[in-house]
Amino acid sequence: MKELTGKQINKLNSDVSDRNKLKRSILFREIFKNKYIYLMLLPVISYFIIFNYLPMYGIIIAFKDFRAGFGIIKSPWVGFKHFETFFGSYYCWRIIRNTFLLNFYDLIFAFPAPIILAVLLNELRSERYKKVVQTVSYLPHFISTVVAVGFVGTFFSQDGIINNLLLTLGFERVNFIFEPQWFRPLYIGSGIWQGIGWGSIIYLAAISGIDPQLYETATIDGAGRFAKIFHITIPSIVPTIIILLIFRVGDMMSVGFEKVFLMYNPATYVTADVISTFVYRSGFGNAQYSYSTAIGLFNTIIDFILLILANYSARKISENSLW
Protein backbone atom coordinates (compact mmCIF):
# COMPACT_ATOMS: atom_id res chain seq x y z
CA MET A 1 0.00 0.00 0.00
CA LYS A 2 1.43 3.36 -1.04
CA GLU A 3 2.27 5.68 1.84
CA LEU A 4 1.05 9.28 1.78
CA THR A 5 3.57 12.04 1.54
CA GLY A 6 3.72 14.94 3.97
CA LYS A 7 2.07 17.29 1.49
CA GLN A 8 -0.79 14.86 0.87
CA ILE A 9 -1.36 14.44 4.61
CA ASN A 10 -1.40 18.20 5.08
CA LYS A 11 -3.84 18.57 2.19
CA LEU A 12 -6.17 15.94 3.72
CA ASN A 13 -6.03 17.67 7.09
CA SER A 14 -6.75 20.97 5.42
CA ASP A 15 -9.75 19.48 3.58
CA VAL A 16 -11.13 18.02 6.82
CA SER A 17 -10.65 21.37 8.56
CA ASP A 18 -12.43 23.18 5.71
CA ARG A 19 -15.34 20.76 5.86
CA ASN A 20 -15.66 21.23 9.61
CA LYS A 21 -15.59 24.99 9.22
CA LEU A 22 -18.29 24.74 6.53
CA LYS A 23 -20.47 22.59 8.79
CA ARG A 24 -20.06 25.05 11.68
CA SER A 25 -20.86 27.94 9.37
CA ILE A 26 -24.04 26.21 8.15
CA LEU A 27 -25.01 25.40 11.74
CA PHE A 28 -24.56 29.00 12.89
CA ARG A 29 -26.55 30.26 9.91
CA GLU A 30 -29.40 27.87 10.70
CA ILE A 31 -29.39 28.92 14.35
CA PHE A 32 -29.42 32.60 13.41
CA LYS A 33 -32.16 31.99 10.84
CA ASN A 34 -34.36 30.28 13.46
CA LYS A 35 -33.19 32.36 16.42
CA TYR A 36 -36.71 33.17 17.61
CA ILE A 37 -37.63 29.49 17.75
CA TYR A 38 -34.54 28.78 19.83
CA LEU A 39 -35.41 31.72 22.10
CA MET A 40 -38.81 30.12 22.68
CA LEU A 41 -36.99 26.97 23.81
CA LEU A 42 -34.88 28.91 26.30
CA PRO A 43 -37.49 28.98 29.14
CA VAL A 44 -38.06 25.23 28.79
CA ILE A 45 -34.33 24.47 28.85
CA SER A 46 -33.87 26.83 31.80
CA TYR A 47 -36.69 25.10 33.68
CA PHE A 48 -35.14 21.65 33.31
CA ILE A 49 -31.67 22.90 34.20
CA ILE A 50 -32.82 24.76 37.32
CA PHE A 51 -35.40 22.32 38.66
CA ASN A 52 -34.20 18.95 37.32
CA TYR A 53 -30.44 18.98 36.82
CA LEU A 54 -29.05 21.41 39.40
CA PRO A 55 -30.87 19.67 42.31
CA MET A 56 -29.04 16.44 41.39
CA TYR A 57 -26.09 17.90 43.24
CA GLY A 58 -27.95 17.22 46.48
CA ILE A 59 -28.01 13.47 45.81
CA ILE A 60 -24.61 13.15 47.45
CA ILE A 61 -26.16 13.60 50.90
CA ALA A 62 -27.48 10.04 50.48
CA PHE A 63 -23.88 8.99 51.12
CA LYS A 64 -23.28 11.50 53.90
CA ASP A 65 -24.51 12.14 57.42
CA PHE A 66 -26.01 15.50 56.49
CA ARG A 67 -25.94 18.19 59.15
CA ALA A 68 -27.42 21.57 58.38
CA GLY A 69 -24.67 23.38 60.28
CA PHE A 70 -21.94 21.80 58.17
CA GLY A 71 -23.74 21.97 54.82
CA ILE A 72 -23.56 19.42 52.03
CA ILE A 73 -19.81 19.68 51.41
CA LYS A 74 -18.55 19.50 55.00
CA SER A 75 -20.97 16.83 56.23
CA PRO A 76 -19.10 13.56 56.94
CA TRP A 77 -19.18 10.69 54.44
CA VAL A 78 -20.85 7.48 55.64
CA GLY A 79 -20.91 5.46 52.39
CA PHE A 80 -23.87 3.08 52.06
CA LYS A 81 -24.90 3.31 55.72
CA HIS A 82 -28.34 4.77 55.00
CA PHE A 83 -29.08 2.18 52.32
CA GLU A 84 -28.15 -0.61 54.73
CA THR A 85 -30.37 0.93 57.41
CA PHE A 86 -33.28 1.10 54.99
CA PHE A 87 -32.95 -2.48 53.73
CA GLY A 88 -32.63 -3.72 57.30
CA SER A 89 -35.68 -1.82 58.58
CA TYR A 90 -39.09 -3.28 59.30
CA TYR A 91 -40.82 -0.90 56.85
CA CYS A 92 -38.56 -1.55 53.85
CA TRP A 93 -40.27 -4.47 52.14
CA ARG A 94 -43.72 -3.30 53.19
CA ILE A 95 -43.46 0.03 51.40
CA ILE A 96 -41.74 -1.55 48.39
CA ARG A 97 -44.54 -4.12 48.17
CA ASN A 98 -47.24 -1.46 48.53
CA THR A 99 -45.63 0.75 45.89
CA PHE A 100 -45.25 -2.10 43.43
CA LEU A 101 -48.76 -3.48 43.98
CA LEU A 102 -50.43 -0.08 43.55
CA ASN A 103 -48.59 0.43 40.28
CA PHE A 104 -49.19 -3.14 39.14
CA TYR A 105 -52.95 -2.89 39.72
CA ASP A 106 -52.95 0.50 38.05
CA LEU A 107 -51.17 -1.02 35.04
CA ILE A 108 -53.62 -3.93 34.85
CA PHE A 109 -56.86 -1.99 35.33
CA ALA A 110 -56.22 1.71 34.68
CA PHE A 111 -53.86 1.54 31.69
CA PRO A 112 -56.27 -0.33 29.34
CA ALA A 113 -59.27 1.81 30.35
CA PRO A 114 -58.51 4.81 28.05
CA ILE A 115 -57.80 2.42 25.17
CA ILE A 116 -61.17 0.73 25.60
CA LEU A 117 -62.97 4.09 25.88
CA ALA A 118 -61.23 5.44 22.76
CA VAL A 119 -62.19 2.35 20.73
CA LEU A 120 -65.80 2.53 21.93
CA LEU A 121 -66.04 6.25 21.17
CA ASN A 122 -64.68 5.60 17.70
CA GLU A 123 -67.50 3.14 17.09
CA LEU A 124 -70.26 5.61 18.01
CA ARG A 125 -72.28 6.74 15.03
CA SER A 126 -73.98 9.71 16.70
CA GLU A 127 -71.53 12.62 16.75
CA ARG A 128 -73.65 14.53 19.27
CA TYR A 129 -73.72 11.64 21.73
CA LYS A 130 -70.00 11.09 21.16
CA LYS A 131 -69.22 14.70 22.08
CA VAL A 132 -71.37 14.48 25.21
CA VAL A 133 -69.59 11.31 26.37
CA GLN A 134 -66.19 12.84 25.66
CA THR A 135 -67.02 16.01 27.59
CA VAL A 136 -68.37 14.10 30.58
CA SER A 137 -65.37 11.76 30.67
CA TYR A 138 -62.86 14.63 30.31
CA LEU A 139 -64.27 16.77 33.15
CA PRO A 140 -62.87 14.78 36.12
CA HIS A 141 -59.33 15.39 34.83
CA PHE A 142 -59.73 19.11 35.57
CA ILE A 143 -60.77 18.47 39.17
CA SER A 144 -57.88 18.95 41.58
CA THR A 145 -56.59 15.92 43.47
CA VAL A 146 -57.73 17.46 46.76
CA VAL A 147 -61.31 17.79 45.52
CA ALA A 148 -61.26 14.30 43.96
CA VAL A 149 -60.10 12.75 47.24
CA GLY A 150 -62.79 14.80 49.00
CA PHE A 151 -65.40 13.19 46.72
CA VAL A 152 -64.07 9.74 47.58
CA GLY A 153 -64.19 10.52 51.30
CA THR A 154 -67.73 11.87 51.04
CA PHE A 155 -69.16 9.04 48.94
CA PHE A 156 -67.49 6.20 50.87
CA SER A 157 -67.73 7.52 54.43
CA GLN A 158 -69.81 5.79 57.08
CA ASP A 159 -72.77 8.04 56.25
CA GLY A 160 -71.96 8.39 52.58
CA ILE A 161 -74.03 7.57 49.52
CA ILE A 162 -72.43 4.16 48.98
CA ASN A 163 -73.02 2.98 52.55
CA ASN A 164 -76.59 4.28 52.49
CA LEU A 165 -77.16 2.33 49.27
CA LEU A 166 -75.67 -0.82 50.83
CA LEU A 167 -77.93 -0.39 53.86
CA THR A 168 -80.95 -0.01 51.57
CA LEU A 169 -80.03 -3.25 49.80
CA GLY A 170 -79.83 -5.09 53.12
CA PHE A 171 -76.06 -5.08 53.62
CA GLU A 172 -74.13 -3.73 56.57
CA ARG A 173 -72.20 -0.50 56.44
CA VAL A 174 -68.53 -0.81 55.46
CA ASN A 175 -65.85 1.49 56.83
CA PHE A 176 -64.15 1.97 53.46
CA ILE A 177 -61.88 4.83 54.55
CA PHE A 178 -60.32 3.04 57.53
CA GLU A 179 -60.22 -0.53 56.21
CA PRO A 180 -56.75 -1.33 54.76
CA GLN A 181 -58.12 -3.80 52.19
CA TRP A 182 -60.26 -1.08 50.59
CA PHE A 183 -57.50 1.47 50.04
CA ARG A 184 -56.19 -0.02 46.78
CA PRO A 185 -59.62 -0.42 45.11
CA LEU A 186 -60.53 3.15 46.05
CA TYR A 187 -57.18 4.49 44.81
CA ILE A 188 -57.29 2.62 41.49
CA GLY A 189 -61.01 3.20 40.92
CA SER A 190 -60.81 6.94 41.56
CA GLY A 191 -57.75 7.12 39.29
CA ILE A 192 -59.66 5.45 36.45
CA TRP A 193 -62.61 7.81 36.94
CA GLN A 194 -60.37 10.86 36.91
CA GLY A 195 -58.03 9.90 34.07
CA ILE A 196 -59.92 7.68 31.63
CA GLY A 197 -61.31 10.50 29.49
CA TRP A 198 -58.14 12.55 29.32
CA GLY A 199 -56.04 9.46 28.63
CA SER A 200 -58.24 8.48 25.70
CA ILE A 201 -57.38 11.66 23.77
CA ILE A 202 -54.04 10.39 22.50
CA TYR A 203 -55.58 7.08 21.42
CA LEU A 204 -58.42 8.87 19.62
CA ALA A 205 -55.78 10.93 17.82
CA ALA A 206 -53.98 7.73 16.79
CA ILE A 207 -57.25 6.18 15.61
CA SER A 208 -58.09 9.28 13.55
CA GLY A 209 -54.87 8.72 11.60
CA ILE A 210 -55.97 5.29 10.35
CA ASP A 211 -56.64 5.18 6.61
CA PRO A 212 -60.48 5.03 6.11
CA GLN A 213 -59.92 2.86 3.04
CA LEU A 214 -58.91 0.01 5.34
CA TYR A 215 -62.38 0.04 6.91
CA GLU A 216 -64.06 0.34 3.53
CA THR A 217 -62.11 -2.63 2.20
CA ALA A 218 -62.95 -4.65 5.30
CA THR A 219 -66.66 -3.80 4.87
CA ILE A 220 -66.58 -4.98 1.25
CA ASP A 221 -64.97 -8.23 2.42
CA GLY A 222 -67.83 -8.73 4.87
CA ALA A 223 -66.01 -7.89 8.11
CA GLY A 224 -68.18 -6.95 11.07
CA ARG A 225 -67.55 -4.20 13.62
CA PHE A 226 -65.70 -6.46 16.04
CA ALA A 227 -63.53 -7.81 13.23
CA LYS A 228 -62.60 -4.26 12.23
CA ILE A 229 -61.74 -3.40 15.83
CA PHE A 230 -59.48 -6.41 16.36
CA HIS A 231 -57.89 -6.49 12.91
CA ILE A 232 -57.64 -2.78 11.98
CA THR A 233 -58.18 -0.38 14.88
CA ILE A 234 -56.17 -2.06 17.63
CA PRO A 235 -53.21 -3.17 15.44
CA SER A 236 -52.97 0.38 14.05
CA ILE A 237 -52.62 1.96 17.51
CA VAL A 238 -50.25 -0.69 18.89
CA PRO A 239 -47.15 1.56 18.41
CA THR A 240 -48.83 4.29 20.48
CA ILE A 241 -49.83 1.78 23.14
CA ILE A 242 -46.29 0.40 23.36
CA ILE A 243 -44.69 3.85 23.75
CA LEU A 244 -47.10 4.80 26.54
CA LEU A 245 -46.65 1.38 28.14
CA ILE A 246 -42.88 1.90 28.24
CA PHE A 247 -43.38 5.22 30.03
CA ARG A 248 -45.80 3.56 32.44
CA VAL A 249 -43.48 0.67 33.24
CA GLY A 250 -40.69 3.20 33.78
CA ASP A 251 -42.77 4.64 36.63
CA MET A 252 -43.61 1.30 38.22
CA MET A 253 -41.97 2.27 41.51
CA SER A 254 -43.35 5.81 41.56
CA VAL A 255 -46.77 6.58 43.00
CA GLY A 256 -48.26 10.06 43.02
CA PHE A 257 -47.43 11.36 46.48
CA GLU A 258 -50.25 13.89 46.78
CA LYS A 259 -53.16 11.50 46.30
CA VAL A 260 -51.80 8.77 48.57
CA PHE A 261 -50.94 11.36 51.22
CA LEU A 262 -54.49 12.74 51.14
CA MET A 263 -56.19 9.34 51.12
CA TYR A 264 -54.23 7.32 53.65
CA ASN A 265 -54.29 7.37 57.43
CA PRO A 266 -52.46 5.42 60.20
CA ALA A 267 -55.14 2.70 60.05
CA THR A 268 -54.35 1.99 56.37
CA TYR A 269 -50.54 2.29 56.49
CA VAL A 270 -50.20 -1.46 56.09
CA THR A 271 -51.48 -1.26 52.48
CA ALA A 272 -51.28 2.46 51.71
CA ASP A 273 -47.83 3.52 52.85
CA VAL A 274 -45.57 3.83 49.79
CA ILE A 275 -42.01 4.97 49.14
CA SER A 276 -42.91 8.61 48.44
CA THR A 277 -44.96 9.02 51.64
CA PHE A 278 -42.32 7.24 53.71
CA VAL A 279 -39.65 9.55 52.28
CA TYR A 280 -41.82 12.56 53.18
CA ARG A 281 -42.32 11.43 56.77
CA SER A 282 -38.66 10.53 57.19
CA GLY A 283 -37.34 13.72 55.63
CA PHE A 284 -39.75 16.41 56.80
CA GLY A 285 -41.29 14.70 59.80
CA ASN A 286 -38.17 13.21 61.40
CA ALA A 287 -35.53 15.47 59.77
CA GLN A 288 -33.65 12.39 58.44
CA TYR A 289 -32.59 14.11 55.24
CA SER A 290 -29.77 11.76 54.26
CA TYR A 291 -31.86 8.67 55.00
CA SER A 292 -34.84 9.91 52.96
CA THR A 293 -32.56 10.95 50.09
CA ALA A 294 -31.05 7.45 50.01
CA ILE A 295 -34.52 5.91 49.76
CA GLY A 296 -35.53 8.31 47.00
CA LEU A 297 -32.31 7.58 45.09
CA PHE A 298 -32.96 3.84 45.36
CA ASN A 299 -36.47 4.39 43.97
CA THR A 300 -35.13 6.44 41.04
CA ILE A 301 -32.53 3.81 40.15
CA ILE A 302 -35.17 1.06 40.09
CA ASP A 303 -37.39 3.18 37.82
CA PHE A 304 -34.45 3.82 35.48
CA ILE A 305 -33.65 0.09 35.26
CA LEU A 306 -37.31 -0.74 34.57
CA LEU A 307 -37.44 1.89 31.82
CA ILE A 308 -34.37 0.44 30.12
CA LEU A 309 -35.73 -3.12 30.36
CA ALA A 310 -39.17 -2.08 29.09
CA ASN A 311 -37.67 -0.26 26.12
CA TYR A 312 -35.35 -3.19 25.31
CA SER A 313 -38.21 -5.70 25.53
CA ALA A 314 -40.50 -3.58 23.36
CA ARG A 315 -37.79 -3.21 20.70
CA LYS A 316 -37.18 -6.96 20.63
CA ILE A 317 -40.86 -7.95 20.56
CA SER A 318 -42.50 -5.30 18.39
CA GLU A 319 -39.66 -3.17 16.94
CA ASN A 320 -41.33 -0.11 18.55
CA SER A 321 -39.36 1.70 21.21
CA LEU A 322 -38.29 5.09 22.55
CA TRP A 323 -34.75 4.69 21.22
Phi/psi class of residue 48: alpha, beta or left (left: φ > 0; alpha: ψ in -120 to 50)? alpha
Quote the pLDDT of residue 283: 87
Average pLDDT, the chain: 87
Quote the pLDDT of residue 224: 86
Does the residue 1 lie in any domain?
no
Judgement on whether residues 46 and 145 belong to the same structural domain of the protein = no
Does the residue 323 lie in any domain?
no
For 30-78, write each residue's pLDDT tens digit. 888 888 888 888 899 999 999 888 888 888 999 999 888 888 888 899 9
- Per-residue pLDDT, averaged over 10-23, amounts to 65
Question: Which residues have a Cβ under 8 Å from the Cβ of 62 and sit 6 or more positions away?
Answer: 82, 83, 290, 293, 294, 296, 297
Judgement on whether residues 13 and 63 belong to the same structural domain of the protein = yes
Does the residue 108 lie in any domain?
yes
Give the CATH number of the domain where residue 117 resides.
Answer: 1.10.3720.10
Residue 35 structural domain: 6-67
Question: Which residues have a Cβ under 8 Å from the Cβ of 61 and sit 6 or more positions away?
Answer: 72, 75, 289, 290, 293
> Which comes out higher in pLDDT, residue 132 or 315?
132
For 75-126, write each residue's pLDDT tens digit. 899 999 999 999 998 889 999 999 999 999 999 999 999 999 999 999 888 8
Last residue of some domain: 26, 44, 67? 67
Can you give the pTM of this predicted structure? Answer: 0.82
Q: What is the dihedral of CA 18, 21, 26, 30, to 10 degrees?
A: 180
Say what angle helices 180-208 and 145-155 make with each other, to 10 degrees. Answer: 130
Judgement on whether residues 178 and 60 belong to the same structural domain of the protein = no
Does the residue 31 lie in any domain?
yes
- 162 burial via Cβ count (<10 Å: 0-12, 13-18, 19+): middle
- What CA–CA distance (Å, rounded) separates 258 from 278? 12
Does the residue 15 lie in any domain?
yes
- Per-residue pLDDT, averaged over 205-224, amounts to 89
Quote the pLDDT of residue 14: 64
Judgement on whether residues 265 and 185 belong to the same structural domain of the protein = yes
Judgement on whether residues 150 and 203 belong to the same structural domain of the protein = yes
Judgement on whether residues 90 and 199 belong to the same structural domain of the protein = yes
- Per-residue pLDDT, averaged over 262-287, amounts to 89
Quote the pLDDT of residue 12: 56
- What CA–CA distance (Å, rounded) separates 297 from 61? 10
Give me the number of domains the chain comprises. Answer: 2
Q: Cβ distance 289 to 283 under 8 Å?
A: yes
- Per-residue pLDDT, averaged over 197-208, amounts to 92
Judgement on whether residues 299 and 253 belong to the same structural domain of the protein = yes
- Per-residue pLDDT, averaged over 240-244, amounts to 90
- Per-residue pLDDT, averaged over 235-254, amounts to 87
